[in-house]
Every structure is written in structure tokens, then in C-alpha cells.
Amino acid sequence: CEYLKNLTPGGFRMYLINNENGFILENSFQLYKMIHWIKTEMFAYLTIFNSRGFNADLNLDYETKFLIILTLVNSDFNFYDRNRTLIRTSEHYQASSGSQNRYFIFKRKTMYYVHMINVRFKTAVCPLVFQNSKLAQISFKNLHNTFYKKNFIQFINLKNVSLNSFINSLRFFNFFGLDLNTKLIDENVFSNTSEFYFDGLINSIQSDLFARFSNLKN
């Protein structure tokens, strides 16, 4: 993997790999125990290959001060209920994730990084997935919107929702034919984002897109 070659040496590294039908990341993995293994480290790399997605009630709310870099590679960005039924609507997601305070993967006192490389987006993403997120950066690599290949993230439109999400930087790399609009860049999820970075072929830009983000600096 090109990204892994460039990682800074050191720190704790953990790889979850499945070369067959993929797996759903759920509470049975007990990833919160990873925190106990990195007490002597300054940061940790968690890289997931070939995942089918996440359980909506995934609970990794173990708070830590360590820097965590989460990378999804060749995986599906899907969410499932406890019966392993694919979630397609915000109502289904809310019913499956419970009424507890939601956090994307980890409950954090300090920010962490999420990188998505060759990740597949088969369904529109519910913005509630990123409720209470605290990310230094989230990046997407190799998204396409062409006649031959369509794979890019889109958000379900939720109005009058306060997500309390803090994502400093949103980055898109090596993409082709994306339309920059509020379906791609949800104004609730990225309301506190200060930096957008685009490195690829842009098809169109929504005329009032960037005016919607009052904290945007770069």
C-alpha cells in the first residue's frame, strides 16, 4: 500500500486484514483494549483492510491522550444493525445506534486522523455518523464520478441538526470528476472545518458552497 510506505517509523501498529468476504467491525473485536497495549507509545496506527463496514452501535469510547491514525483500505463504508442488515436511512441508523452519545470510532480528548484509500461508498452516509467527532483530518483518496466508474461519498440531507463535530481539515486526493456541493461536503458535518484541500479533476463547484462554512480559512 503506497500510504503505508510513507508512515513515520515507530509507534504501535495494528492491522486488521481479511482476504475473503470481508468482516464487519463490531464490539466483539474489543478494539478498546488496544489502548492498554500502547501505554508506552506516543501514537498508534490502526489500519483496516477489506472491511464490509461497521456496526452502528460500535462502542470504542475509551478515552485516551494518544494520537491515533485510522486508515481504511479497500473497504466498504457501510453501517449495519445488530442483525447485520445494511442501514440505508437516517431513521434506521438512529434506531440501531441507540440514544447514547455517538462518536465516530473513538471518544477522544485529543484529535485523531482518518484516511480512506480505495474505500467504496455504496450507500449515502448519514451525517449522524460523525456526531461529536473530533478529527484533525479526514481524507479520501481515489474517488471517481465518471461514465465508467462511480464511487464517491454523498451525505443524506438532514436539516436543523446540531452534530457538534469538529473536523479541522477535509482532503480529497487523486479524484476524477467530482461535483463540489453540499451532498459531498455536508454543511452540518463540516461546519467547524477550517481547511479544504482538493487534488484532482473537479467537474463543477456549487456557486455558494464555500460561503456556507463560516470557519473556513484555507
DSSP characters over 144-178: EESSS-EE---B----S-----EEEEEEEEEEEEE
**What pLDDT is attached to residue 10?**
58
- Residues 123 and 110: their CA atoms lie apart, in Å, by 30
Nearest to 198 by CA among 214, 215, 210, 212: 210
**What pLDDT is attached to residue 64?**
63
- Residues 49 and 117: their CA atoms lie apart, in Å, by 10
Three cell numbers written together for 164: 457538534
SS (H, E, C) 8-43: CCCCEEEEECCCCCCEEECHHHCHHHHHHHCCCCCE
Assess contact for 64 and 39: CB atoms under 8 A. no
Local confidence pLDDT in tens for the 218 residues of the chain: 444 444 455 567 778 887 767 788 887 777 666 666 665 556 778 888 999 998 888 766 556 667 788 899 999 999 998 888 988 888 888 888 765 556 776 666 667 899 999 999 989 999 988 988 889 999 999 999 998 899 999 999 888 778 889 999 999 999 999 999 999 999 999 999 999 999 999 999 999 999 999 999 99
CA 139 to each of CA 49, 89, 93, 126: distance values in angstroms, whole numbers, following the listed order: 16, 24, 23, 18
pTM: 0.87
- Residues 177 and 201: their CA atoms lie apart, in Å, by 5
